[in-house]
Amino acid sequence: MEKIISLFKRNYEIDKLVRDEIVPGAEWVIAGEGIATRKYDGTCCLVRDGKLYKRYDAKKGKTPPEGFEPAQDPDPVTGHWPGWLPVGYGPEDRWFREGWENSRIGLSNGLTIPDGTYELIGPKVQGNPEGHVNHKLTPHGADVLDAPRDFEGIKAFLADRDIEGIVWHHPDGRMVKIKKKDFGLKRALNRSLFL
């Protein structure tokens, strides 16, 4: 999965917040194309051919570990080079394995998780901002939102919801994102736990 572009340009030199100016390549969102979905705050993973992979970013010229599969070429400006690593049996991959097993429970297709990208969320991932008591894989693009498509509308929409952000999915595969924190907004501190 390639790095997803942001909807609005950022004030890197001032406060790192977004401003009401569209990033080139994201104009289709404002034009009403694509579907808005909930962005979860966890860690990205991939299911392919019945195997689980975790996202790995070989930043700033760092040599990726053995088994690394690039998702795109290294970014010449930021140095980010995202790709995939197979989830192994070591302690560093424990929560991925637990999320995999928890997500297989109750599937009607013989316990096979469909190919695609997912967000691993749960109590030991990113401080658990999603408030889950168990680790699980949440499919990207599964939770459709009726979100506005203008700067002030999106800011107000995110201010009223305890979610990380929005990802728009275009039918041709392009994606664009915006996060609550891009506007300087914070998530709630008291989240109710659910399964």
User: For 52-83, what is each residue's pLDDT tens digit?
Assistant: 999 999 888 788 999 999 988 888 878 888 89
| Residue 195 located in a structural domain | no
Query: Among 42-46, 58-62, 82-86, 151-155, where is mean pLDDT lowest?
Result: 58-62
| Residue 188 located in a structural domain | no
Element at 82 (helix H, strand E): strand 82-86
| Residue 139 located in a structural domain | yes
| Domain range for 106 | 5-183
Q: What is the mean pLDDT of the chain?
A: 90
| Residue 189 located in a structural domain | no
Yes or no: say if 121 and 138 are a contact pair by the CB < 8 Å rule: yes
| Residue 16 located in a structural domain | yes
| Residue 193 located in a structural domain | no
Which two tokens mark 70?
A: 């690039």
pLDDT of residue 61: 76
Judge if pTM exceeds 0.95.
no
| Residue 164 located in a structural domain | yes
pLDDT of residue 172: 94
Yes or no: say if 170 and 137 are a contact pair by the CB < 8 Å rule: no
| Residue 149 located in a structural domain | yes
Q: How many domains does the chain have?
A: 1
Yes or no: say if 59 and 80 are a contact pair by the CB < 8 Å rule: yes
